[in-house]
Amino acid sequence: MHPPISLIFFFLTAGTSIGLFIFVYFIEFLKLFGKGQGLPKEVVLLSGVISLILIGAGAIGASFHLGHKLRAWKAVKRFHTSWLSREAVFSGAYGLTLLIYLVIKYFDISPFFEHFFGILTWILGVLSGFSTAMIYASNKFVLEWNTGITVIYYLLMYLMLGSSAFTIISYYYNLPYTGTFLFLTFLFVLLGFGFRLAFNIRQFYIKRPTLNEALNLPHNRPVRVIDKGSTTDNFCTTEFYYEKGKQMLPTFIPLAYLFTFIIPLFLLVYIWITGTVNQYLLWVIYLSILIGSAIERWCFFVEGNHVQNLFYGLYPEEGYKLRKGFMERKETRTSLYG
């Protein structure tokens, strides 16, 4: 699949925004039960404003992916069937409730409403991230994405970005949470590394579809591509297959692993062993995860192989190998009435 830069930008901004707020409000929420010291009002407001700016910038950036931007509001009409619609609704609601929460916090209007909108914003942020991940995980036409690993790994990346960003804020304000969030960043990066590795390993074991399956025909009637569906490039051959990207994957996937996982893990272990913590190291960790996540999202899109590419001779070669026993028992019917 051709990687849309606007969606990669939305992932980075929304991921940092939601991930950061998840941890900021969680600390505030624990204070209700006498656990922890909570956060200074200045830190909550600063983190909240950063989160609000990022989600707003992400929404604007994502709109460039739309063909008719003025019709974006129509996305909410498909809420009951479309994960894309749910993402739009939950992301917009998250930004709105976050704004209300910050206003209530700034003016100290009411502790009850402060935590009501804090909890609501927290839930909407999680639902927004989950809905975004499900857009890809529920896509049965791109087998590389169609797995629960996609959802878990996607949410882990939000936590990686959020925990590493909050560690910088915690250190800057000399809060007692720096060590805790260094550990959490290490944990989420390590888990993310494991799930990303599982995502790549899984690709070697995916049973690729065949033209017979795509046409709903049994395997005892072999079908093969004699000529491409088009003699010239068109939308299907450029947006659903990125030839140059496929050639660059062997270089970009190692880079994604290096920046997203290897460098942050090395620096976190270095901090743990030497006890050296400073703002520069924390910024390098966050920026490394940010840059690595951008490269990883680019690879994620390029790694996807849409089944429509079977008809253009662009699907991986394994897709043409017939697998007996998959559809022989499936009855093929032809009817004028559907």
Length of the chain: 338
- Give the contacts of 11 (CB within 8 A, at least 6 positions apart): 58, 132, 157, 293, 297
209 near 181, Cβ under 8 Å?
A: no
- The answer on pLDDT for 93 being more than 50 is yes
Q: State phi, psi for 148 to the nearest 5 degrees.
A: -65, -20
Q: Which residues on adjacent β-strands are paired with residue 306?
A: 142
CA distance 67 to 57: 19
The token pair that represents 57 in the structure block: 């910038």
Of 7-11, 103-107, 132-136, 316-320, the least confident: 316-320
CA distance 256 to 237: 26
Residue that the structure tokens 């930008």 belong to: 9
pLDDT tens digits, 218-234: 777 777 777 766 667 78
Of 126-140, 280-294, 321-335, the least confident: 321-335
Q: ∠ CA(295), CA(246), CA(202), 5° rounding?
A: 75
- The answer on pLDDT for 106 being more than 50 is yes
CA distance 171 to 278: 8
pLDDT tens digits, 109-124: 999 999 999 999 999 9
pLDDT for the residue 229: 63
Mean pLDDT of 155-179: 96
Of 57-66, 140-149, 184-193, 248-257, the least confident: 57-66
- The answer on pLDDT for 325 being more than 60 is no
DSSP 142: B
pLDDT tens digits, 203-221: 888 888 777 777 777 777 7
Please report the sign of the dihedral spanned by the C-alpha atoms of residue 89, residue 64, residue 162, residue 154: positive
253 near 299, Cβ under 8 Å?
A: yes
pLDDT for the residue 237: 79
Helices (DSSP H) in 109-177: which residue ranges?
111-137, 148-172
Mean pLDDT of 73-100: 88
pLDDT tens digits, 280-312: 999 999 999 999 999 999 999 999 988 888 877
Q: Closest Cα to residue 64, out of 15, 119, 18, 10?
A: 10
Mean pLDDT of 153-182: 95
Task: Give me the residue spans of the domains in the chain.
Answer: 1-138, 188-338
Q: What is the per-residue burial (b if ≥16 Cβ within 10 Å, else e) of 24-33? A: bbebbbeeee
How many Å separate Cα 264 from the centre of its chain? 19
pLDDT band for 158, please (50, 70, 90 cuts).
Answer: very high
How many Å separate Cα 293 from the centre of its chain? 9
Question: What is the chain's mean pLDDT, rounded?
Answer: 87
CA distance 269 to 240: 40
Whole-prediction pTM value? 0.88
pLDDT for the residue 63: 75
| Phi-psi label, residue 263: left if phi above 0, alpha if psi -120 to 50, beta otherwise | alpha
CA distance 129 to 135: 10
pLDDT for the residue 292: 97
- The answer on pLDDT for 270 being more than 90 is yes
